[in-house]
Amino acid sequence: MIIAIQCTDQVGLVAKISGLLAAENYNIVAMQEHVDKTENLFFMRLEVNKDANADGLEQQLADLLPPDASIKINPNPEKNAIVLVTKEYHCLADILVRNHFKTLGANVQCVIGNHDTLGDICKRFDIPFYHVPYDVPAEPEKKVLEIIAGYEHDYIVLAKFMRVISPEFVNRFHNKIVNIHHSFLPAFAGANPYRQAYERGVKLIGATAHFVTDELDEGPIIAQQIIPANHSLTTADMIRAGKEIETAVLAKALRMVFDDRVFIYKNKTVVLE
């Protein structure tokens, strides 16, 4: 069982929490904590080897911790995810393979694409695929929401979904949408980042996985990675190289999110790897 706690920092929190768990006969098998001294915030993730009444334990912890404490208890750590795509296959293919071999940390419920290009690979993995064109005046987001409503889901993954989604859509799934952007944010946000990088003559290119907010490519960052670039690379070369790190960064971010290792505050994250 996983317990995730976020609250104002104060002296003795670790002792209080571990003491309560010991008194209730919980054995802590893993514990990580972090204090943001600037914000005076405390973050903790614990793994314990005894399942329990989550509501009862949550109330005991709430009585013990500062009033602003956020307590998340998840006896079943395996999540459900819905994936949105456009045409590029590399991130989706990696997700489907991990899902097939039960290493994703979540169960892919369905895939929704604004093109039908990736329907075949979903069929091969026996994952439902829905084609919702965004080039018709038929309120495509409404259709996407109807599809999502038909499935159990904890997170929505934008695996190279190359459409801007509305603030209304984002607000329905606050801090539950994970996106992969093909640049080392905050550099080269928005469209065509590899072309922007080529024209700027950068010596590094990267990828960023982040939570989606109302501001384009400005959400809390979960994971990032870079690789070297030089004058010999064309835009096409950068795109090919970038696909490798896009896949790796999204996979790492999803692993951290699905495993309840990511805490969000303001526009930042604490990731207890």
- Mind telling me the catalytic residues? 217
Per-residue pLDDT tens over the stretch 156-174: 999 999 998 999 999 999 9
Do 50 and 26 touch, CB atoms closer than 8 A?
yes
240 pLDDT higher than 90: no
pLDDT band at 236 (very low <50, low <70, confident <90, very high): confident
77 pLDDT higher than 80: no
Tell me the domains of the chain and their CATH numbers.
Answer: 2-74 (3.30.70.260), 79-271 (3.40.50.170)
DSSP 200-258: HT-SEEEEEEEE--SSTT-SPEEEEEEEE--TT--HHHHHHHHHHHHHHHHHHHHHHHH
229 pLDDT higher than 60: yes
Q: What pLDDT was estimated at residue 127? A: 98
46 pLDDT higher than 70: yes
Cα–Cα distances (Å) from 4 to 38, 60, 266, 267, in that order, read 21, 14, 18, 19
**Mean pLDDT score of the chain:** 91
239 pLDDT higher than 70: yes
pLDDT band at 226 (very low <50, low <70, confident <90, very high): confident
